């Protein structure tokens, strides 16, 4: 998705999920080595795929984003939990995300 869409989308999505404004937002631009595969721990976080993402596969429990994947009817841009990234290029590739990190909110937690 474009960055503008992501910036409109994220606050509304966080409201839906109940996080309101209690989250941090980071822009991540990953540089992937030739044929690199990596797994990102994104439990309790959200990664939104922005800008172009070609020759790369991003898969997580919410779905898959892979332009060469023909067996799915939708591509997923919002990823959570464990994210598996595969670079199909035998050269350097780039991948951009907006990372949303809901706060721990220690200060406002009521101990039960």
Partner 1 sequence: MMKEGVIITKISIKRQGERKHFQIKLPKDTKFIIGIEYGGRLISKSDAIKFAAAPKAAPTEELPKTEVIESVTVAGTVEERSKTFFKRNQLIGELKLQSSEESNWFYSTDVFGADANLKYGDFSNAGFNVNDYTHGNKRTEEIVKVDAESTIIQGWYLDALGKSQKVDINYEVTIYVWINVEE
Partner 2 sequence: MLKATKKRFDIKITQANSTVSDTFELDKNIVKVHGVLVTSDKDDLLYYRGTQKIEINKEEFFPENYESKLLMSGINVAPKQRYYDLGGVAPGNGRVQITYKDLDDGRTVFAAYRVSLYLDCEMEDEL
Which chain residues interact with partner 1 by CB under 8 A?
Answer: 24, 26, 41, 43-44, 101-107
Window 24-53: residues binding partner 2 (CB under 8 A): 41, 43-44
For position 19 contacting partner 2 by CB under 8 A, the verdict is: yes
In the list partner 2, partner 1, none, the entry touching 12 (Cβ below 5 to 8 angstroms by class) is none
Q: Which residues contact 83 (CB under 8 A, 6 or more apart)?
A: 39, 40, 42, 47, 58, 59, 60
Window 83-112: residues binding partner 2 (CB under 8 A): 102, 104-105, 112
The Cα 109–Cα 36 span in angstroms is 40
- Two tokens, residue 48: 């939104």
Pick 11 or 102: Cβ nearer partner 1: 102
């Amino acid at each position: 998705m474009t960055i503008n869409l992501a910036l409109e989308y994220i606050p509304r999505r966080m409201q839906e999920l109940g996080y309101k404004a209690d989250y941090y937002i980071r822009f991540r631009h990953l540089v992937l080595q030739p044929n690199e595969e990596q797994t990102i721990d994104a439990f309790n976080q959200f990664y939104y795929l922005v800008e172009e993402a070609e020759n790369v596969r991003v898969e997580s429990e919410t779905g898959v984003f892979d332009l060469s994947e023909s067996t799915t009817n939708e591509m997923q841009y919002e990823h959570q939990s464990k994210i598996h990234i595969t670079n199909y290029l035998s050269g350097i590739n780039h991948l951009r995300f907006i990372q949303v990190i809901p706060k721990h909110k220690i200060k406002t937690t009521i101990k039960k």
